[in-house]
Structure 1
């Protein structure tokens, strides 16, 4: 019915442990999917929309999703 939330993190390289090509590709895919969301939140912060948000978290999630969609539309239009 409902999917269990999952946190996906990238792979970290060290001096001793280098990343395999597959891990590098996985990091690239993760960054590609994360970038539009981070840009959307940056725009919302610049517009100061979230400063006066006083609602319960379930409604806030729906509101933020809608705002991110609208923000991405505005940004893609060039405003």
Structure 2
């Protein structure tokens, strides 16, 4: 999932799918369905955004020097612990 500022992938089937919201323009206003889709996307992204915000505040990621696969597992564990602490 990505925010509305994401630019990138074309329609090549070899690339993964990126889910973005809908943008309104002067000529095209958002329909109620588009607005609801944006709300659902924002609700799904919010916990992850908050988790990374907490990790940045704690400055955990500044000195991370490890293999990216290990970093992924470490970040998942840290996000779980962060969410437990925030919800406590």
**In structure 2, the residue corresponding to 1:8 is in which secondary structure?**
coil
Flag as ranges the 4+ runs of structure 1 deviating above 4 A. none
**1:39, 1:24 → 2: CA distance?**
22
The higher relative CO (CA closer than 8 Å, separation ≥ 6) is in 1
C-alpha displacement at 1:62, in angstroms?
A: 1.2
Gaps in structure 1 of 5+ consecutive residues: none
Gaps in structure 2 of 5+ consecutive residues: 1-14
Q: 1:30: which partner in 2?
A: 41
**1:1-30 CA distance string (max 9 Å, x none):** xxx743211110011111111111110000
Q: Please, what is the CA RMSD of the aligned residues?
A: 1.2
C-alpha displacement at 1:73, in angstroms?
A: 0.4
1:45 maps onto 2:56 in alignment = yes
Q: Find 1:54's aligned residue among 65, 68, 86.
A: 65
TM-score (structure 2 length as normaliser): 0.78
Higher helix share: 1
TM-score (structure 1 length as normaliser): 0.87
